[in-house]
A and B are shown apart, each in its own frame.
Chain A
Amino acid sequence: MHSVIQALGLVLDPQVLLTVVLASLFGLFVGAVPGLTATMATALLVPITFFMDPLSAVAAIVACTAMAITAGDIPGCLLRIPGTPASAAYTDETFAMTKRGLGAQALGASLVSSVIGGIVGTVVLILAAPALARIALQFSSFEYFWLALIGLSCAAFVSSDDALRGFVSLLIGLFIASVGMDGVSGTPRFTLGVTELLGGISFIPAMIGMFAVSEILNSLVRGTARERFAATQKVTGIFRGILGLIRHYWRNVARGSVTGTLIGVLPGAGGDIAAWISYATAKRFSKTPEKFGTGHPEGVIEAGAANNGGLSGAWVPALVFGIPGDAVTAIAVGVLFMKGLNPGPRLFEAQAEMLYAVFIIFLIANLLLLPFGWAAIRLASRILTVPRPQLMAIILLFCVVGSFAINNTVFDIGLMLGFGILAFLLNLAGFPVAPIILGIVLGPLLEQNFLTSMVIAGGDITGFFERPVAAALGVAAILIWAVPLGLAGLRLLRGGTRAAKPAENNS
């Protein structure tokens, strides 16, 4: 209880509150503009959070992403263009509602269900994280090795339709993580004699390149850089009849919140996937599945709750084990490490008030969604007609200054450009980008825990299965690999080359 009061004191600091409000406004804007994702919002925000105290930094990321994911529903509903990938699952449905004159209801329903989903996710985080942390205190390098491996495997298999492509992206991330001086022996690796690379590839410029610069390149090559979106009507009556609607579909709200949170907890799967799965579940369990796709709020409510639940859920493994659940938390974990606040069970003992403060921020951010989201919907036509070239110029400016500001070196601007081009090309060839960032963050964890474990076990592989929890995690990790490989093998035997799935562009 004492920690909670201390935590409240931390949160009520005007600087923290101001940060939350500003980051929320920023997130709302970025989310509502099509083509700018929540991950991009985080990537652009990080150089600024770098100069804040740790709590403000985390608060900014939490508030910004919650707002961005929710605001992504607005252009989806009004223009049939999802603002962020997390809204893509139900864009057609909300647009159909708009065409039937139910646009306000669609946005109101997705907003309120987002708030509920986010709060459920936060409650799960508050209850589950400290309990898991107590268990995690017993963990040794063996368990951490397996956890990191599970995290990476999920990232590879879940983030793309094509597990093989996800796997390649992951390996690229792991390779990038190994550049620089090796953490155990201090041997330089893959530095090509470049002094700047001795300390490794800086995380923030790489991330800005992959999530912001690549998007600018993409819009230039696709010729959408000057695209103007049609002005939309003003949406009014957003909350009219909303209580009745939510009460009527309370099962969907509950199911979406819970499944979304659970999917978020899985490493590598975040709000995007949670929304797709929840939309599908809503249809399967609906009494009127034939209405789906014609402008029916049921799936919107369930998936709207799920993507915000997933966002909060992703923080469970990130805070407890330091193993991020999606690209956004991967960035957040990277920031925490840079701030010297290594995520993990010890954080719950040493910095309990800090963690409670983060939890309170989650609640505040999700509650702020109601008024802020309402305002964003009212201002939607203004936000959507922001001229694109000017917007991209601003993003470009922040990319350059943000990449430079971390280490005060122009080398990092070059890194940013290189990673921007790399991510753009990968995207073009259908390779997902998110596993790269998870590979960069988890690579050192995986390698160092492996090497430490090997020293402890005297080079004996069976040491990885001697402790009961390690054995269970090890079996899980092996199953994650064995099941898809087995299935692929079976398909190969049966259908020859039919195993190849069409690749889809997702990042």
Chain B
Amino acid sequence: MRKVDVAAGLLFAAFGAGVVVEAASIPPMIGQAYGPGFFPSLVGGGLVVAGLIIALRGLFTAPEAVVEGAGRPAPTATRPYWGALAWLVAGLVVIIRAFEAIGFVPLLGIYLAGFMLLLGVRPVQAVVLGFLLTLGVYFLFVRLLLVPLPAGLLQPLLG
């Protein structure tokens, strides 16, 4: 049994079933045989069938050793960077919440500096580089491309 296949297949089948149910509640176009719910229900149905086949096939297949990209040298580092990963995800959530209030430069500056720190970049370099990059991109997008990135806390300085 290949657990990944079984789990992924069942997950897709369940999702497809949800899509079918939801699609059934989309009101049909009056006088037309095929309305806006028709395509999504096909897609959902397809996911149910394909997901079940993948799950069943996985159930009857012998598990395999994972082959690292044919002939490639093994990666030098083996340990995942969980800290940087958590920072990446959680940081983005904070950025989304506080984008207007705190502003692009402070948020992204800290975000990038922290990200690099967690990957072992020297602290001074991480902070300087993080803020320089962010400032550069800020001016590129605000001045040249006219994207309204929020200045936030730095309004008096950047505005």
Contact = CB atoms under 8 A, between A and B. Distances in A.
A497 B61 contact: yes
Interface string A206-240: 00000000001100111111111000000000000
B121 to A, nearest CB: 5
Given A164-B50, A168-B50, A397 B89 contact: no
A17 interface: no
Contact of B47 (A168, A225, A392): A168
Nearest to B8: A429
Given A168-B51, A221-B80, A413-B95, 9 more contacts: A164-B54, A226-B77, A228-B76, A392-B119, A393-B116, A396-B111, A408-B148, A414-B96, A502-B64
A220 B88 CA distance: 10
Contact of B4 (A224, A390, A398, A429): A429
Interface residues of A, number: 71
Instruction: Classify the secondary structure of B's interface with A.
Output: helix
A152 B119 CA distance: 40
Interface string A393-408: 1101110110011001
B39 A178 contact: yes
A167 B105 CA distance: 42
A55 interface: no
Interface in A160-192: 164-165, 167-168, 171-172, 174-175, 178, 182, 184-185, 187, 189-190
Nearest to B120: A226
B71 A178 contact: no
Contact of B72 (A80, A389, A421, A500): A80
A389 B12 CA distance: 34
B14 interface: no
Which residue of B32, B92, B99 has the most chain A CB atoms within 10 A of its CB atom?
Answer: B92
B50 A80 contact: no
Nearest to A388: B119
Interface string A466-507: 000000000000000000000000000000010110111100
Interface string A450-474: 1100110001000000000000000
30 contacts: A51-B145, A164-B50, A164-B54, A167-B50, A168-B50, A171-B47, A178-B40, A178-B43, A190-B19, A220-B80, A220-B84, A223-B78, A223-B81, A224-B75, A225-B119, A226-B120, A227-B77, A389-B115, A389-B116, A389-B121, A401-B149, A408-B148, A413-B95, A413-B96, A414-B96, A417-B89, A454-B32, A459-B34, A503-B5, A504-B67
Interface in B19-39: 19, 22-23, 26-27, 29, 32-39
Contact of B34 (A81, A446, A454): A454
Given A171-B50, A222-B75, A223-B80, A408 B147 contact: yes
Instruction: Classify the secondary structure of A's interface with B.
Output: helix
B151 interface: no
Interface string A7-31: 0000000000000000000000000
Contacts of B145: 48, 51, 405
Nearest to A167: B50
Interface in A116-150: none
A298 interface: no
A410 B116 CA distance: 23
A73 interface: no
A489 to B, nearest CB: 12
A180 B121 CA distance: 43
A223 B79 contact: yes
